Amino acid sequence: MKNDVLKKSILIISLIIVLIGVISCISAADNVDSSEVTMLTLSKGGLLIHYPSNWGYSESTSNYSIMAISKLDSVDSSGVGQVNINFEKKPLEGEFYTYVNDTYKSMQGDSSYDLISSGGVMVGNVNAVEYIYTSNQDGVEKEHKAVWFEKGGQAYVLLYSAPPQDFEDNLYIFDYILSDIQIT
């Protein structure tokens, strides 16, 4: 008799788990955006990236920018993407790590920047340095994730920027690009 009760309990628990799984799948299917997002390719300045079609090529005001993309629904009335990724290539002056660290040391004296974290990461098979920080320029707050690496005497920086409320929601695109980037 104990075996029958145990078997019925296991059967009921199994049915509940299956029912929860089916409801979760139906709920997830209802939340899928029906518009198709395809992957696009952009190659410039020694970098090749793949990015989703709900992002687009954009202009950058940086003199060192080799390409930039912005989330299309974040472009404001003046045509500036508020959620963007900028790819820069700068002539390396001196030793790479000293050059990069000096860049952030100069920010420490500026109260409009706040360094959150820094450390070593990999971009493909290349050693890189990551900095996460916030900025407040003329009342406009942004959160940034910058990843620096060296190639051929050049310092590359990939900079993801977004308003704080949009930063985490779009960070996966930047992380995907970093994991998939080809350095030519």
Q: What is the pLDDT of residue 36?
A: 84
Identify the pLDDT of residue 4.
61
Closest by Cα among 132, 133, 90 to 110: 133
Sort 184 into a burial class: Cβ within 10 Å, 0-12 / 13-18 / 19+: exposed
Could you tell me if 157 and 146 are in contact, meaning their C-beta atoms sit under 8 angstroms apart?
yes
Residue 125 structure tokens: 């098979």
Contact 69, 56 (CB under 8 A): yes
How sure is the predictor about 82, in pLDDT bands with cuts at 50, 70 and 90? very high
pLDDT band at 15 (very low <50, low <70, confident <90, very high): very low
pLDDT > 90: what percent of the chain? 57
pLDDT of 174 above 80 = yes
Unique residue bearing structure tokens 């990551």:
130
**Is the model more confident about 73 or about 13?**
73
Residues paired with 128 in a beta bridge: 121, 149
Strand partners, 42: 49
The token pair at 75 is: 């472009």
With cut-offs at 50, 70 and 90, classify the pLDDT of residue 60: confident
Q: What is the pTM of this model?
A: 0.78
* pLDDT digits 0-9 by tens, 92-143: 989 999 999 888 888 888 889 999 999 999 987 889 999 999 999 889 999 9
The single-letter DSSP state of residue 167 is H
